[in-house]
Amino acid sequence: MTKISVLGYAGRLGSEIAIQGADPLICDITKIDELNEAIYRAKPDIIINCAALTDVDNIESKEGYYKALEVNCWGIEKLLQAFDGRIIHISTDYVFDGKRGPYGETYARYSPINWYGYTKTGGEALFLTGATKGSTLIRTTGLYGNRIGLPDFVSTIMERLGKGEEVLVTNELRHNQSYIPHIAEAILKLCELSNPPKVLNLGSREILSRYSFALLVATVFRYDINLVKPCINLSVPGWKAPRPAKAGLKVDLAEKYHLPIYNIIDGLNDLKERMR
Ligand SMILES: NC(=O)c1ccc[n+]([C@@H]2O[C@H](COP(=O)([O-])OP(=O)(O)OC[C@H]3O[C@@H](n4cnc5c(N)ncnc54)[C@H](OP(=O)(O)O)[C@@H]3O)[C@@H](O)[C@H]2O)c1
């Protein structure tokens, strides 16, 4: 049986991959000795790398950027040094500027517009040049619905709507809002393929603006949709980093490989079911 280990097992996506069956790989991706030791003990056939620093606004500071570079970029080099087997590395549509999305796998003009995107671009470049045959770079986008209680876009707006508070949601960003259990399911199915693609997009089937998605969330969970107000990026409290506007990912290739791809509403309905 294929032994699958997941790095970043305590994060939003990594925890779900562990819940769905992968073994946590407990080590710091920036420390080669820890990686060597953990891999030696676990003896995985496949490593799924979800380890990352993902706080986009914090990474706009010099300190945040240098820390993120260590994990998101140089961490990939260390992982490649420590493990010459099959790796599935998770990345993002934030490696693009959001002028021409949704992006297909063959679009190859890196154009990040924030420092998080730069660190992820560096990680991708190292991965694509150094990874063993059979490894896959997965780009995903707009993750929500983790089962370990970490805040995400949906949980945050539901908390506010539940208290009867207004939420300002940008209508300047478009992407596929993607339900974490569905993405984890597709990643684990990819592990079963004997001839996987080198680059693969995973996300929900449709692209929506964040504002439209927030209206959908309010509708599905029966909150007052009048509390959801459209705004521009500059009005979103706490946002320092620019975000790619017309981003998102085409997911046709995943469908060609018969990987499970769902509609946005399927994710929200599943989340509702789980919360009952
Ligand atoms: N969230 C999204 O909307 C989104 C969208 C597109 C792509 N992605 C990509 O998807 C992947 C997973 O994202 P996520 O949302 O699950 O992120 P997350 O919730 O922030 O989880 C990342 C995990 O990586 C761990 N980590 C940080 N530094 C590490 C290190 N030096 N060594 C080992 N582990 C380390 C974190 O541990 P600590 O908690 O201890 O720091 C955390 O458990 C990332 O590659 C991200 O770029 C995410």
For a pocket test of ligand 1, which of 13, 15, 103, 136 has the largest count of ligand atoms closer than 8 A to its C-beta? 13
| Per-residue confidence (pLDDT) for residue 184, from 0 to 100 | 98
Is residue 31 scored above 90 in pLDDT?
yes
The per-residue pLDDT for range 109-148, each reduced to its tens digit, is 999 999 999 999 999 999 999 999 999 999 999 999 999 9
Closest protein CA for atom 22 of ligand 1: 11
pTM for this entry: 0.98
For a pocket test of ligand 1, which of 118, 143, 156, 251 has the largest count of ligand atoms closer than 8 A to its C-beta? 143
3-class DSSP assignment, residue 105: coil
Closest protein CA for atom 42 of ligand 1: 11
Provide CB contacts within 8 A for 179, sequence distance 6+.
Answer: 144, 145, 204, 262, 264, 266, 267, 268, 270, 271
- How far is the centre of ligand 1, averaged over its atoms, from the C-alpha of 49 (Å)? 9
Contact status, residue 72 vs residue 28, Cβ threshold 8 Å: no
Q: Is the peptide bond before 102 cis (omega within 30 degrees of 0)?
A: yes
For a pocket test of ligand 1, which of 6, 20, 54 has the largest count of ligand atoms closer than 8 A to its C-beta? 54
In 75-218, at which residue ranges do the beta strands (DSSP E only) sit?
86-92, 136-140, 143-144, 167-170, 174-175, 178-179, 199-201, 208-209
Ligand 1 site residues, Cβ closer than 6 angstroms: 7-8, 10-14, 28-30, 50-54, 71, 90, 92, 120, 140-143, 150
- How far is the centre of ligand 1, averaged over its atoms, from the C-alpha of 94 (Å)? 14
Q: What angle do CA 50, 53, 56 make, to 5 degrees?
A: 120
Is residue 54 scored above 90 in pLDDT?
yes
| Per-residue confidence (pLDDT) for residue 237, from 0 to 100 | 83
Q: Counting atoms of ligand 1 from 1, which one is nearest the CA of 53? A: 27
For a pocket test of ligand 1, which of 5, 7, 12, 93 has the largest count of ligand atoms closer than 8 A to its C-beta? 12
Using alpha carbons, select from 98, 92, 128 the residue that is nearest to residue 202: 92
- How far is the centre of ligand 1, averaged over its atoms, from the C-alpha of 12 (Å)? 7
- How far is the centre of ligand 1, averaged over its atoms, from the C-alpha of 227 (Å)? 31
pLDDT over 70 percentage in the chain: 100
The per-residue pLDDT for range 239-270, each reduced to its tens digit, is 999 999 999 999 999 999 999 999 999 999 99
Q: Considering the chain, what is the average pLDDT of its residues?
A: 97
Residues 239, 241, 247, 252, CA torsion sign: negative
Closest protein CA for atom 24 of ligand 1: 51
Other beta carbons less than 10 A from residue 48's beta carbon: 30
Q: Counting atoms of ligand 1 from 1, which one is nearest the CA of 143? A: 3
Q: Counting atoms of ligand 1 from 1, which one is nearest the CA of 150? A: 19
The per-residue pLDDT for range 178-237, each reduced to its tens digit, is 999 999 999 999 999 999 999 999 999 999 999 999 999 999 999 999 999 999 988 888
Q: What angle do CA 196, 200, 204 make, to 5 degrees?
A: 125
Backbone φ and ψ for 16, nearest 5 degrees, come out as -70, -35
Q: Which pLDDT band holds residue 74 (cuts at 50, 70, 90)? A: very high
The rounded Cα 242 to chain-centroid distance in angstroms is 18
| Per-residue confidence (pLDDT) for residue 216, from 0 to 100 | 98
Contact status, residue 94 vs residue 122, Cβ threshold 8 Å: no
Contact status, residue 164 vs residue 227, Cβ threshold 8 Å: yes
Strands 208-209 and 174-175: antiparallel
| Per-residue confidence (pLDDT) for residue 275, from 0 to 100 | 92
